[in-house]
Amino acid sequence: MSYNPVMFGTHDLLLFIISGLLLNITPGVDFIYVLSRGAAQGFRAGVWASLGIGAGCFVHIVAAALGLSAILATSAMAFTVVKWIGAAYLVYVGISMLRSRASVTQIDALPQSSASKIFWQGFLTNVLNPKVALFFLAFVPQFIDAASPTKVSAFLFLGVIFNLNGTLWNIFVAWISARLLGHLGAASSVGVWINRTLGAFFIGLGVKLALSERT
């Protein structure tokens, strides 16, 4: 006998949490961004990156809950515009990392504005990816009761759970990268090559996003 808890107009909540966790740990753009920040600048930088990504996710969650993201699913032009903006931004981040000449291992050594910059880069990396919007439209509704009179609340409830789990996972990635890879940044030449390698990954992800099609 299966256990299908119902809460706020949702169903199979446990299955949703497990599925969401499995999706969260799948490496992607967000994973690489947090990994690069944690490895190059330490745990606190990785946390700021994680929080920025989480904030970007909230934009997608609210938009999808209100039906705004449906435009991306039905309008080829809207999807293409957002896709190219997101792809261009990923390439920009990648080029910036390729051009980096120094490695800073401690976030405390950076100006206060750098934490803000890390946050907003994470935010834009996520919010300018139309695939995230389409993901929420495709995945979350599967766990909302069709007869629920509070579908928007149910969507927001599930979205918050998914985003919270994702943020906690990204913070864990930041900790792992800072602990296992951060010491490599102590050597300036090694830190530069870490940035260049991950920068190349960002450029590749940007190109992949630019060439992607709606599914």
Q: What does the pLDDT read at residue 32?
A: 83
Q: What does the pLDDT read at residue 173?
A: 92
Q: What does the pLDDT read at residue 59?
A: 93
Domain boundaries, the chain: 13-211
Q: How far is CA 155 from the centre of its chain?
A: 19
**SS3 category, 187:** coil
Span 16-49, pLDDT tens digits: 888 878 777 777 788 888 888 888 788 999 999 9
